[in-house]
Amino acid sequence: MNQEIEKRTKWFRGERFGMFIHWGLYSIPACGEWVMSEREMTVSEYRPYFEQFDPVDYNPKEWAKLAKEAGMKYAVLTAKHHDGFCLFDSALTDYKATNTKAGRDLVREYVDAFRAEGIKVGLYFSIIDWSHPDFPKYGDRQHPMRFNEAYKDEKIDFDRYLDYMHGQIKELVTNYGKLDILWFDFSYDDMAGEKWRASELISMVRTYQPDVIIDNRLEGSGEENGSIATANPLSYSGDFASPEQIIPPEGIRDVNGELIPWELCATMNNHWGYCNYDKLFKPADMLIRKLVECVSKGGNMILNVGPDAKGRIPQESVSILKEIGAWMNKNGESLYGCGISEIPKPEWGRYTQKGNTVYAHVFEAPLGALPLYGIDKNRIERISYVSDGSEVRRGEAWNTALYPDTAFVTFGDDPVFTYPLPDAVDTVLKLELK
């Protein structure tokens, strides 16, 4: 791993769990953040949402308290999404929250609220913009006007757009204090790298925010890592890779096989922005296990919420986050500051590790005693439950005699009998090794 990246991402690789927040005008039509593109809406057809935007229940202090309760250590808010609307008070456009019924800088309130809870703050910024007159339209892969013949021979000044885009990013990195993450989205086709004047952009960002960590999407996307995984990453290749809605089979490594920082970005249902009919929420136990999987592969998870038009996080998301938080409150030690274990994955769950401490995440109840595969029983000094610190009983018995090199534990009195897991979601054992 590049030494600068290693230094910048040290906190990120320790804190492991964050909150993504997709929120904007698209919360009003309530069918996801791509509605302007999917319905091929003109700027004027989309304009009524700007006039209607009035998040009377927006209270980022509540959001921050929920994130903290869930065990999240950092957060990223969509300061501007693809539709071009800004939640911040940009001097470069009138298309911003301060000119809606909200009448104020919503990003300012977010950064203040989350910092007050001790949560690191990040901002998402879309480098594409469907409302700017100088952004390519006809023939673009996803612009709302991609099929509109009226724009076929339109003359645009893309450099004027880039000046605008760079100017808005400069506002974000100079007006809101120290930022911990900048999450750019996204490159595609030939719209990548220097097409965005990316070297110049990163140089400017680093001038004002030398320690901010940046994702890889000035060059890559959810489909392409970019040069971050090569022997010679470019200045704009970012500090971490950003797989979307999928966990890499072996984590993400560079061409030399060295692990690079990465973060799964995932939704709680099947949309990023608020969708009032999408009730396909992933259960808390699944999300806990997926977070464990990410950490066991050296990665992070940033889990999304999509607040509604009034500024409230959906109750389904709140309930799930509280469930995750209850588990994290007891077991977070096994994830924070942890990473890939030196011991191969066991068939009943996963291992994470921190120094000489291995955490066994048991997802499946054993028949009889639980074999601690891969661990020399002579190296074990102590085994305890992470949730309450109590001792875990050893499970060696007459029927384990054929496996003298394997350590066993039991979840009851008699290791020959079968017992339910103390925590059906994930029972975490702390193995302190010599």
Q: Residue 382 carries which DSSP code?
A: E
Q: Give, rounded to a whole angstrom, the gap between the first and last alpha carbons of the chain.
A: 28
Instruction: Report, at the CATH architecture level, how domain 3-331 is classified.
Output: Alpha-Beta Barrel (3.20)
- 281-306: average pLDDT: 98
- d(CA 108, CA 192) in angstroms, rounded, equals 30
CA atoms within 13 A on the CB side of 71: 26
Q: 220 or 222, which is more confident?
A: 220
Beta-ladder partners of 221: 224
- d(CA 228, CA 254) in angstroms, rounded, equals 7
Alpha helices in 267-407 (DSSP H): 284-296, 315-331
pLDDT band at 1 (very low <50, low <70, confident <90, very high): confident
Based on the number of CB atoms within 10 Å of its own CB, is 27 exposed (0-12), middle (13-18) or buried (19 or more)?
buried
- 239-257: average pLDDT: 95
Residue 222 has pLDDT above 80, yes or no: no
Rg of the chain, C-alpha, whole Å: 24
Residue 305: partners with Cβ closer than 8 Å, 6 or more residues away: 19, 20, 21, 22, 63, 268, 313, 314, 317, 321
Peptide bond into 186 cis (omega under 30): yes
| Residue 2, pLDDT score | 85
Nearest CA to 240 out of 220, 222, 262, 221 is that of 262
| Residue 233, pLDDT score | 92
pLDDT digits (tens, 9 = 90+) for 360-406: 999 999 999 999 999 989 999 999 999 999 999 999 999 999 999 99
The ranges of the chain annotated as CATH 2.60.40.1180 are: 341-433
Nearest CA to 128 out of 18, 221, 241, 267 is that of 221
pLDDT digits (tens, 9 = 90+) for 23-62: 999 999 999 999 999 999 999 999 999 999 999 999 999 9
- Between strands 181-185 and 357-362, the pairing is unpaired
In this prediction the pTM is: 0.97
Residue 10 has pLDDT above 80, yes or no: yes
Residue 412: partners with Cβ closer than 8 Å, 6 or more residues away: 393, 419
Helix (H, G, I), strand (E, B), or coil: what is residue 95? Answer: coil
- 201-214: average pLDDT: 98
- d(CA 184, CA 126) in angstroms, rounded, equals 6
CATH of domain 341-433: 2.60.40.1180
Based on the number of CB atoms within 10 Å of its own CB, is 71 exposed (0-12), middle (13-18) or buried (19 or more)?
buried
Are 220 and 191 in contact, with CB atoms under 8 Å apart?
A: no
Nearest CA to 275 out of 236, 316, 243, 238 is that of 316
The ranges of the chain annotated as CATH 3.20.20.80 are: 3-331
